[in-house]
């Protein structure tokens, strides 16, 4: 069974940092592109970033370039999102999701982890 489990969310002060993790099982992690997608309270889904199978290629939503860093450890079947200089508008549920390519659909998602940035 394909499973993606996010962790690392919580309450953080504005300007602080947080590192999210996503541990996967049930599929060959190293063969998939991986993504982070978020949903702010009362808002729609927003794609944040993705990363190639070997970590050699990454893409980010314009608003987060320079503040967020996506990475992966294929030996640990893990995906990460390092978030720095957090703002109130970063408050959201963050989902990890797998994809077949950078431009292709996301066919499996985790349940999400909530990040709350307090002012």
Give the interface with other proteins as residue ranges (CB under 8 A).
35, 37, 44-47, 50, 59-62, 95, 97, 102-112
Nearer Cβ to other proteins, position 13 or 25? 25
Kindly state the smallest distance separating residue 75's Cβ from other proteins, in Å: 25
Select 111 or 118, whichever has its Cβ closest to other proteins. 111
Q: Which is nearer to other proteins, 22 or 117 (CB)?
A: 22
Tell me the closest approach of the beta carbon of residue 78 to other proteins, in angstroms: 18
Contact 46/63 with Cβ under 8 angstroms? no
Tell me, what DSSP letter sits at residue 8?
-
- Please work out, in degrees rounded to the nearest 5, the angle formed at the alpha carbon of residue 56 by the alpha carbons of 95 and 51: 10
Q: Which is nearer to other proteins, 72 or 98 (CB)?
A: 98
21 within 8 A of 8, measured Cβ to Cβ: yes
Phi-psi bin for 63: left (phi > 0), alpha (psi -120 to 50), beta? Answer: alpha
User: Closest approach of Cβ 81 to other proteins, in Å?
Assistant: 15
Closest contact distance (angstroms) between CB of 100 and other proteins is 9
Alpha-carbon separation of residue 9 from 1, 30, 66, 68, 79 (angstroms): 24, 24, 20, 14, 14
């Amino acid at each position: 069974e394909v499973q993606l489990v996010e962790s690392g969310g919580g309450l953080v002060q504005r300007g602080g940092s947080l590192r999210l993790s996503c541990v996967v099982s049930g599929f060959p992690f190293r063969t998939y592109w991986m993504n982070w997608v978020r949903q702010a309270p009362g808002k729609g889904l927003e794609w944040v970033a993705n990363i190639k199978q070997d970590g050699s290629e990454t893409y980010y939503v314009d608003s987060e370039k320079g503040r967020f860093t996506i990475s992966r450890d294929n030996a640990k079947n893990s995906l990460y999102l390092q978030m720095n200089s957090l703002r109130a508008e970063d408050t959201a549920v963050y989902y990890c999701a797998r994809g077949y390519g950078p431009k292709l659909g996301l066919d499996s998602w985790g349940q999400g982890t909530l990040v709350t940035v307090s002012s």
